[in-house]
Amino acid sequence: MSIQTPQQRLSTRAGEQHRINIDRYFHVMSQGWYVHTREGIRGPFFDRHRAEIFIVDLGRKQNDDPSSSWRL
């Protein structure tokens, strides 16, 4: 059994792996794909895959910058 530091425990939210937000992505005809984020709507993206990559990258950036955390 390994012991986690407080920082390791905070790096992953309990429900992170189980969160499904079906309404997060939406398509507007002849414009592209858009994404709902905490900061607002982002897009347009060429396809849904690129919108999903944006969300993954956004999560990584927020995890890298402790000042962007709502836990502070």
Which pLDDT value is given to residue 61? Answer: 81
Does residue 14 sit within a domain? no
Q: Residue 46 domain-assigned? A: yes
Instruction: Please state, as a whole number, how many other Cβ atoms lie within 10 Å of the Cβ of residue 30.
Output: 6
13 located within any domain? no
- Kindly state the DSSP code that residue 28 receives in the 8-state scheme: E
- Residue 3 within any structural domain of the chain: no
**In terms of pTM, does the model score above 0.95?**
no
Taking only the tens place, the pLDDT of each residue in 59-68 is 888 777 666 5
Instruction: List the domain range (segments joined by +) for residue 29.
Output: 20-65
User: Does any domain span residue 10?
Assistant: no
6 found inside a domain:
no
The tally of domains found in the chain comes to: 1
- Give 62-69 contacts, CB < 8 A, sequence gap 24+: 63/11, 69/10
What is the separation of C-alpha 63 from the centre of its chain, rounded to a whole number of angstroms?
10
Dihedral, 62, 64, 68, 70 alpha carbons, nearest 10: 80
